Amino acid sequence: MGATSGAIATPHHRATAAGRAALDAGGNAIDAALAAAAVLAVVYPHNTGVGGDLVALVHSPDGEMHAVNATGWAPAAASRDRALAEHGEAIPRRGAAAVTVPGAVRGWEALAHLGARLSRRDHLRDAVTAARDGVAVSASLALCLAGEWATLTDPSFRTTFGGREDGPLRRGDLLRQPRLADTLDELARSGYGSFYAGALAERLVTALAARGSEVMAADFAEFAVDSAAPLARDWRGMRVHTLGPNTQGFALLRTALAVESDSAPDPLRIARLFAEGNLLRDTRLGDPRRTRVDVRALIEDAVDLAEPELVPDPRLARGDTIGVAAADAEGWAVSLVQSQFHLFGSGVHDAETGVLFHNRGYSFVLDDEHAPGVLAPRARPAHTLMPVLVTDPGGGVRFVQATMGGKAQAQIHAHLLLHLARGATASETVSAPRWTLGPYAPGDRSDAVYAEADVEDAVVQRLHDAGHPIVTVPPLTEMLGHANVVRRTATGFDAAADPRSDGAASVS
C-alpha cells in the first residue's frame, strides 16, 4: 500500500508521529487515530489510558457519520443506597469505588471494525515500544504528577511513576511501563476483546476486587459499545455533528444555534448560553438507556437560571482527556476523545497489568434518587466527553475538532467553531485566547469566568461589568484545554495542535 494523504493533530508529538506512520503505511484516518490513541495511553497517563473511556465520530467516504460511545457502565451490583451509606453524598474521587468498566479498548475495537486497513499489531506497535523502552516525561505529565502526588497513594502507582527522593518523576525523566507493554502486546495478539473476557480480564477484575470494587467478570464481558445515531443540526450552511446523551454534546449545539445569525456574538450572550449548558448538564443529563432524556428540550428549551452561588466542591476534572483529530484525502475523518476523567483517574494502578483505572463513577449522583445521573446498576454516568465533526451541505468534511477541558469541553468547542466559521486557520483557532464559565476551585461562584490574560480587554470588561467574577490565568494555560483541529481546504488540509499541550500536527 502506498502512503495516504491526510492530516492528524494530537496533544503529544509521539502520538502524532505514530498516526503519521499509519498514514504512510497506507492506513486511513481511522488507522492514524487508533495508533495515536494507543501511544497517548502510554505517554499521557494523567489524561488517558486503556483503563479509561472513549467516544468518537467517524466520517466515511460515502458521507455517512458513525458514532462510537464507549463510555463504561457501573457494576450490575451497584446500589445507590449502599453507596450513600458507605460514602455519604458523593463517591470518593480516588479509589476503586469510582471505577466503572473501562470502555476505551472496546472503543478501539469498534473503530477498527468501521474501516481500518491496518492490523492491531500495526495500531499498537508504537505504543508497545513506548511502554517497554520508556519515554521522556513531558512538561504536562511532570506538572500534573507534581501537583497530584500527595493524593496518589496506591503503592503500584508510586512504584511506576515515582522518581528521586520518594517524589514523582520529573520532566525529562524516563517513564517505563513494562507491564503495560505486556498488556498492549496481549491485545495485539489476542484481540481487543481479551481486555473484557479471558485471562487478562480476570486479572483486571481481581485487581479491582482486591481494592473493594463491586465490578464483576460479567460486567466486563457483557459491556458493549453504544452506536446510537450522532446528534446533528444544520448551522450557517454547514452541519455540526456530535454525540447525544449520556454526553454533553447538546450544549455545543444549544450555543451554536442560539448565535447562528450573529457574526460577532455578544460575550454576555455566550456566557448565558454557557451557564445554561452547565445547568442542564448537571441537572438533566443521564444515561438514556436508564432514564428519559429529552434531547430536543436540552437544545431548544428556555432555561431559568438561578442566582449564582458559591460552589464548595466543583467536582471538575483538569487535564482529564485527550483529543485526536484526523482526516484523509479519501474522505475518512475521525474525532476521537479518550479520558481518565480526573488527573490519573481513580489512582488505582494494577502492578500486574500496568493498567491505571479511570474514575468516571465519581460523576454519579448519590444525594438525589430521582436525578437522571443517579447511580444505578449498569448505568453510564453523565459524560463530559464529546467529539465534533462539521460537514458541508454535500456531506464532505469541513472541520474535525477534538479537545480536552473537563466540563468546559462544550464551551471550548463553541469557541473553536466560531473561530473556524469566521475563516480562521487551524493554528489561529487553537492558539486564540480562551475563556470559560464555571467554577474550577472550591469557593468559586457558579458564574465565575476563567479568562486567559490575553483575552480581549473589551470582552473581559463586559463580563466583569455584568457581575461575573473574573479569574485571570496565564495565556495558553492547559487549564483551559488542549484542542486539536483539522480543517479541509481547497488544496488539501490545514491542521494544528494546541500550544497548551506537548502536541504536534502533521499534514501531507
Q: What is the mean pLDDT of the segment spanning 271-277?
A: 97
**CA separation for the pair 211, 96 (Å, rounded):** 6
Q: Residue 150: is its pLDDT beyond 90? A: yes
Please provide the average confidence, as pLDDT, over all residues in the chain. 96
CA distance from start to end of the chain: 16
Give the model's pLDDT for residue 2. Answer: 85
Residues of the chain with CATH 3.60.20: 231-318+389-499
Helical residues (DSSP H) of 230-369, grouped into ranges: 249-258, 267-284, 295-300
The helix/strand/coil state of 328 is strand
Given its phi and psi angles, is residue 239 left (phi above 0), alpha (psi -120 to 50 degrees) or beta?
Answer: beta
Give the model's pLDDT for residue 264. Answer: 87
Contacts of residue 332, Cβ cutoff 8 Å, sequence gap at least 6: 6, 28, 29, 30, 58, 59, 60, 61, 115
Please answer whether residues 8 and 336 qualify as being in contact, where contact means their C-beta atoms are separated by less than 8 angstroms. no
The helix/strand/coil state of 285 is coil
Q: pLDDT of 82-109, one tens digit each?
A: 999 999 999 999 999 999 999 999 999 9
Residue of 72, 4, 30, 9 lying closest to 501 (CA atoms): 9
Give the model's pLDDT for residue 316. Answer: 62
Q: Per-residue confidence at 313, pLDDT binned at 50, 70, 90?
A: confident
Q: Are strands 483-488 and 397-403 parallel, antiparallel or unpaired?
A: antiparallel
**CA separation for the pair 20, 28 (Å, rounded):** 10
Please answer whether residues 233 and 257 qualify as being in contact, where contact means their C-beta atoms are separated by less than 8 angstroms. yes
Please answer whether residues 234 and 94 qualify as being in contact, where contact means their C-beta atoms are separated by less than 8 angstroms. no
Give the model's pLDDT for residue 306. Answer: 87
Grid coordinates in use for 48? 488517558
Give the model's pLDDT for residue 317. Answer: 55
Q: Which of 10, 321, 384, 403 is catalytic?
A: 321
Q: What is the mean pLDDT of the segment spanning 289-293?
A: 93
Please answer whether residues 329 and 468 qualify as being in contact, where contact means their C-beta atoms are separated by less than 8 angstroms. no
Alpha-carbon distance values, 400 to 15, 60, 67, 337 (Å):
17, 13, 14, 12
Q: Which amino acid is at 46?
A: H
Q: Residue 315: is its pLDDT beyond 80? A: no
3-state helix, strand, coil in the chain (%, to 5): 40, 20, 45
Q: Which amino acid is at 182?
A: D
Share of the chain above pLDDT 70, in %: 99
**CA separation for the pair 85, 358 (Å, rounded):** 23
Share of the chain above pLDDT 90, in %: 93
Give the model's pLDDT for residue 57. Answer: 98
Ordered DSSP codes for 110-158:
HHHHTT--S-HHHHHHHHHHHHHH-EEPPHHHHHHHHHHGGG---HHHH
Q: pLDDT of 168-221, one tens digit each?
A: 999 999 999 999 999 999 999 999 999 999 999 999 999 999 999 999 999 999
Cis peptide before 246 (omega within 30 of 0): yes
Q: Per-residue confidence at 455, pLDDT binned at 50, 70, 90?
A: very high
Question: 231-318+389-499 has which fold?
Answer: Glutamine Phosphoribosylpyrophosphate, subunit 1, domain 1 (3.60.20)
Report which secondary-structure segment, H or E, holds 32. Answer: helix 29-43
160 is catalytic: no
Alpha-carbon distance values, 14 to 23, 38, 131, 504 (Å):
15, 11, 12, 9
Q: Residue 382: is its pLDDT beyond 70? A: yes
Q: Residue 318: is its pLDDT beyond 70? A: no
Calculate the CA 12 to chain-centre distance.
15
Q: pLDDT of 230-265, one tens digit each?
A: 999 999 999 999 999 999 999 999 999 999 999 889
